[in-house]
Amino acid sequence: MSTPTTDRHAPTTVAGQPAPSHPMRRPPLVPTWSATRERLLAGGFMAPAVILVALFLLAPFVWTIYRSFFSDTRTSPFSWFDNYTLFASDPALSRSIQNTLMWVVGTVVLPFVLGLAIACMTNAGRFSRLARLCVVLPYALSGSAVAVVWNFMLTTDGAVNQVLTGLGLDSLAQGWLLTWPGNTIVMILANAWQATGVAVILFLVGLQSIPPETLEAGALDGAGAWQQFRHIVLPQLRPVSIIVIGMSLVNGLKSFDLIWVLTQGGPGRATETLAVSMYNETFLELRPGAGAAIAVVLTVIVLAASWLYLRRQLDVKGV
Amino acid sequence: MSASGRTSSAATPLARRGLLAGAVAGVAALAAGGCARGASTSAQPGTTSISNDNATWDEGYRSAGRELEKITGYALRPLSNPSVTSYQQVVQMTLQTSKASDLIKWASGYQLKRLARAGGLTDLTRVWQRYADKGWVRRTSRQALSYRGTTYGIPLYESYYVLFYNKPVFRRLGLSAPETWDGLLHCAEVLERNKITPFLASQVGGWPAIEWFQELVSKVDPGFYQRLVAGEASYTDDPARQAMDIWQDFMRKGWMTAPDFDQARGPGALKEGTVGMFLHGTWQASGMAAAGMEPGTDYGAFILPTVRPSTAKSVIAESGVFVVPSRASSHRAAMANVGSWLDPSVQRVWSDFLQDSSANPKVRSANPVVAGLQRDIARNRRLALVRYWEASPPSLIQGNTDDLGGFMAGQASAATTLRRMQERAHDEWAAWKRDEA
């Protein structure tokens, strides 16, 4: 593969004379009309996207940062970092951070492990297509629809407790959505039930792109099934794993719809994540300043986590 | 190359044209949709638009609108947004624009005060005064409809918080509607012995968590309830502790449904006989009808007895209101309709639809159960107390409602819950008073 330096064409002068032979020495840049026109054209094509992003993403974000420094009284005076100190003083926000961390761990680990396991098990086999369909189907459902179904299952007089009671396991029946941390854990499981589908699809694509020769070579060298998986399959699934973990990480940090439909962050704000707290503070508690501060903190966490993770992973790959 | 090149160069512009045409059509469709949405609040001859957060009431508005049209020449055109949270946001935002509806359904008390404080509402003091002169409105309700002495709301309906019960089940078990606290406890014990959950209690959707709190505090001491919601008493005072202890005791005895029991299933559960008593607003009478229950035959209702016989009798009242944005698209028509809303001929139709009591005290409910409650309230001169949801600043109520939900789920003790509520009350009342100053 050629390096960028060797790919670069030698620039020409206006008079069409050849560029100096010294590769490190740049000639004076005199833009030609065609180069200017090209730049203008490129700018014109980029402008709609840049304007839209600036208008609908960057401007509201800047305004949100600005708003987070003002208090929530009627006159909204400048209050420095008062809204940010809520993270230390408000127990509901402390619980919200705990829940967000649980969601991140749960939404990264469960879809990754389950997705990989199911993809490996259904990559070949008699009923693999049917099994794959069953796992992938929930991914096609909307988060709200999934939440409605799980609500039917998890309420105190819902399907799960009825089954348990029917089996004589009354002692196991409980209010699944009522007590912390059980309510957050069951919601993470419900989310994993839906999110595993996409991980399965991605891992299947990865598995099918592994050259069979590498596995055959491993088998000839006497590698067992586990050794083949550990030393041949898993390393070749690295690019897919990066995508799955990256997506799960961001999904975990911004989880909202399932929680909102199942518990609305309750009871008593016990199941809120930062995204739900942001909504709750802004629109229900009517504290837009506090909501803006949560939004800023959440955005910083999402960006930092994504950047740190992707930078590390993509650098290693050399992408 | 030449042939294929020509073909491709001829096909590309066509494809591009098709893409562009599709994009333009899409944008046009979106724009048309946007315009159509905007047009829904714009003036339409012979009608006034009404923003509403309960789509099941649309037919009632239309029926009442037909009566209004006979008087004012303007019918009602309901625009529903069934999500209460998004409804409140939309209303508050559109109130400042030229796209505001002609009439807006809103809550009374501090919810109305907060909306009025932001500006953009029409002064309805003269309309209210005309109603008061005719005796079509309770004079005592004015405080809950006003902000700084100006009336901004006209009562839309008036509901009372009562316990609905299944008459055949009560009859079968030899019970009757209790008139004393001991009678209530006896009913609960008998129902529980017969494997019927005595009381429906829920925190699904947030706000239902206030129902038992407001009911028990007001039946322990109605005067204390008034002082409490006005910020003049503490949540850690004895009457509040006593009410929470009763509530805790009911839950410990298994007398209440699980907190995640959805109230929407209340009428069905009452009909099936799995729940004995359902504490809710009388507007739930239409839900009973939808479940196929006949008032007076299949279900009855009573007001929760006071804990001590000597305690003054009271009832928790909820009153929705109509407000008129000052920038309403058809302001004149809106004022005409709001000025005739409490006319008995309109209220007859509206009350019949809701199966509830009218805000006009001269209109007797057609529902015999609700009519019986109206007689009880008048005969016993029950003190009407503003529902907790509207009785204090909204931020305080929302936070305290969350705490009560946590208490119902067993996350916090009664003492901890009350302490948190009091701490919030201290902060939020200070903030409200600072804002008012």
B43/A69: higher pLDDT: A69
- For residue B173 the two structure tokens come to 């078990």
Secondary structure letter of residue A172 according to DSSP: G
Q: Per-residue pLDDT tens for B40-85?
A: 667 788 899 999 988 888 999 999 999 999 999 999 999 988 777 7
Q: Please, which pLDDT band fits residue A142 given cuts at 50, 70 and 90?
A: confident
Q: Please, which pLDDT band fits residue B106 given cuts at 50, 70 and 90?
A: very high
Q: Are residues B137 and B249 in the same domain?
A: no
Contacts of B89 in chain A (CB under 8 A): 283
* Residue that terminates a domain, selected from B360, B378, B412: B360
| Residue A290 touches chain B, beta carbons under 8 Å | no
pLDDT of A28 higher than 70: no
**B67 domain-assigned:** yes
**B27 domain-assigned:** no
Number of cross-chain residue pairs from A and B with Cβ atoms under 8 Å apart: 76
Residue of A nearest to B407 (CA): A268
Give the span between the Cα atoms of B97 and A28, in whole angstroms.
Answer: 57
Residue of A nearest to B429 (CA): A73
Mutation site, A70, A178, A271, A283, interface B, largest B CB count within 10 A = A178
Q: Please, which pLDDT band fits residue A136 given cuts at 50, 70 and 90?
A: confident
**B417 domain-assigned:** yes
Please give the model's pTM, rounded to 2 decimal places. Answer: 0.84
Query: Which residue range(s) make up the domain with B297?
Result: 159-317+387-436
Give the span between the Cα atoms of B434 and A75, in whole angstroms.
Answer: 10
Q: Are residues B86 and B196 in the same domain?
A: no
Phi, psi values for residue A69, rounded to 5°? -95, 5
pLDDT attached to residue B237? 98
**B136 domain-assigned:** yes
Mean pLDDT of A184-188: 95
**B125 domain-assigned:** yes
Please give the share of chain A, as a percent, with pLDDT higher than 90: 54
| Residue A182 touches chain B, beta carbons under 8 Å | no
pLDDT attached to residue B25? 66
Highest averaged pLDDT of the listed ranges A134-148, B95-109, B307-321: B307-321
How would you class A117 by CB atoms within 10 Å of its CB: exposed for 0-12, middle for 13-18, buried for 19 or more? middle
Mean pLDDT of chain B: 90
User: How many domains, chain B?
Assistant: 2
Q: Please, which pLDDT band fits residue B344 given cuts at 50, 70 and 90?
A: very high
Q: Are residues B204 and B293 in the same domain?
A: yes
Q: Please, which pLDDT band fits residue A135 given cuts at 50, 70 and 90?
A: confident
Q: Please, which pLDDT band fits residue A306 given cuts at 50, 70 and 90?
A: confident
User: How many domains, chain A?
Assistant: 1
**A107 domain-assigned:** yes
Contacts of A92 in chain B (CB under 8 A): 402
Q: Are residues B292 and B407 in the same domain?
A: yes
SS (H, E, C) chain B: CHHHHHHHHHHHHHHHHHHHHHHHHHHHHHHHHHHHHHHCCCCCCCEEEEEECCHHHHHHHHHHHHHHHHHHCCEEEEEECCCHHHHHHHHHHHCCCCCCCCEEEEECHHHHHHHHHCCCECCCHHHHHHHHHHCCCCHHHHHHHEECCEECCEECCCEEEEEEEEHHHHHHCCCCCCCCHHHHHHHHHHHHHCCCEEEECCCCCCCCHHHHHHHHHHHHCHHHHHHHHCCCCCCCCHHHHHHHHHHHHHHHCCCECCCCCCHHHHHHHHHHCCEEEEEEEHHHHHHHHHCCCCECCCEEEECCCCCCCCCCCEEEEECEEEECECCCCCHHHHHHHHHHCCCHHHHHHHHHHHCCCCCCCCCCCCCHHHHHHHHHHHHCCCEEEECHHHHCCHHHHHHHHHHHHHHHCCCCCHHHHHHHHHHHHHHHHHHHHHHHC
Contacts of A73 in chain B (CB under 8 A): 431, 434-435
Mean pLDDT of A291-304: 93
Q: Are residues B311 and B404 in the same domain?
A: yes
The CATH number for A117's domain is: 1.10.3720.10
pLDDT attached to residue B340? 96
Residues 79-138 of chain A with CB under 8 A from chain B are 92
Mean pLDDT of chain A: 85
CB spacing of B395 vs A286 below 8 angstroms: yes
**A135 domain-assigned:** yes
pLDDT of B35 higher than 80: no
Mean pLDDT of B133-155: 93
Give the ipTM: 0.80
Q: How far is CA B315 from CA B208, B232, B303, in A?
A: 17, 20, 7
Query: Which residue range(s) make up the domain with A256?
Result: 90-317
Q: Are residues B68 and B58 in the same domain?
A: yes
Q: Are residues B190 and B275 in the same domain?
A: yes
Q: Are residues B300 and B280 in the same domain?
A: yes
Q: Are residues B335 and B262 in the same domain?
A: no
Q: Please, which pLDDT band fits residue B268 given cuts at 50, 70 and 90?
A: very high
Please give the share of chain A, as a percent, with pLDDT higher than 70: 88
Strand order in the sheet with B75-80: B75-80, B47-52, B103-107, B320-323, B154-155
